[in-house]
């Protein structure tokens, strides 16, 4: 008859592991193999991700450096252009100031000449008036005579108009 295992041999952990290995062994080995494949795939994917990430970082660094260099060159070109424009504007401003100063000096000399001519002319007329100093009485006589002549002309005109009206009737 088959010998019955005693209680001590039944509870032996090695014995339980053997039974488990007999029953579940092929599935456990398959599962372990599968876990190892998955772990290997995961490690490979992590390495590929790290490599791709490193490559992307490097590409981004290169692109940032290229863009920074282009930006620096553009800024330098703009600064040069702005400097040239500022110099042109300053030169134009200096030229305009010089022209304005020359025009101002020219006009001031012309005004000065005109003042001198006007003073001389005024002085000449004042001298003429002093030299031809006519007495008040003579002037009064002349003005009265002129008034009489004007009245005669008006009187003659009125007469002519009156005669012209009568002849028309």
pLDDT given for residue 13 in this prediction: 67
Q: Would 41 be classed as within a structural domain? A: yes
- Look up the pTM and report it: 0.40
pLDDT given for residue 62 in this prediction: 96
Q: Which of 85, 104, 123 is the C-terminal boundary of a domain?
A: 104
Collect all residues with Cβ–Cβ distance below 8 Å to 89 and sequence separation of at least 6: none
Compute the half-sphere exposure of residue 99: CA atoms within 13 Å on the CB side of its CA.
6
Q: Would 15 be classed as within a structural domain? A: no
Q: Would 118 be classed as within a structural domain? A: no
> Which residues in the chain show pLDDT less than 70?
1-13, 129, 133-134, 159, 165-169
pLDDT given for residue 167 in this prediction: 63
Q: Which of 55, 83, 104 is the C-terminal boundary of a domain?
A: 104
Q: Would 120 be classed as within a structural domain? A: no
Q: How far apart are CA 101 and CA 94, in angstroms?
A: 10
Q: How far apart are CA 78 and CA 72, in angstroms?
A: 10
Q: Would 32 be classed as within a structural domain? A: yes
Residues 95 and 144 in one domain: no
Residue 89 structure tokens: 């504007």
Domain of residue 154, residue span: 135-164
Q: What is the C-alpha R_g of the chain? A: 63
pLDDT given for residue 59 in this prediction: 95
pLDDT given for residue 143 in this prediction: 82
pLDDT given for residue 2 in this prediction: 46
Q: What angle do CA 26, 29, 30 make, to 5 degrees?
A: 85
Q: Would 20 be classed as within a structural domain? A: no
Residue 28 structure tokens: 């456990």
Q: What is the pLDDT of residues 13-53, one digit of tens each?
A: 678 878 877 887 778 888 889 999 999 999 999 999 999 99
Report the domain count for the chain: 2
DSSP letter, residue 133: -
Residues 38 and 79 in one domain: yes
pLDDT given for residue 1 in this prediction: 43
Question: Which of helix, strand or coil describes residue 46?
Answer: helix
């Amino acid at each position: 008859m088959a010998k019955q295992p005693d209680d001590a041999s039944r509870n032996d952990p090695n014995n339980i592991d053997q039974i488990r290995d007999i029953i579940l062994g092929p599935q456990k080995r398959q599962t372990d193999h599968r876990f190892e494949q998955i772990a290997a795939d995961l490690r490979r994917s992590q390495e590929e991700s790290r490599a791709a990430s490193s490559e992307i970082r490097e590409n981004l660094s290169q692109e940032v450096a290229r863009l920074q260099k282009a930006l620096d060159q553009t800024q330098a070109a703009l600064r040069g252009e702005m400097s040239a424009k500022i110099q042109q504007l300053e030169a134009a401003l200096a030229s305009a100031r010089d022209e304005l100063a020359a025009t101002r000096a020219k006009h001031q000399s012309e005004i000065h000449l005109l003042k001198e001519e006007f003073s001389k002319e005024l002085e000449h007329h004042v001298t003429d008036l002093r030299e031809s100093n006519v007495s008040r009485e003579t002037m009064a006589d002349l003005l009265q005579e002129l008034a009489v002549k004007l009245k005669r002309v008006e009187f003659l005109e009125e007469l002519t108009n009156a005669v012209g009206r009568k002849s028309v009737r």
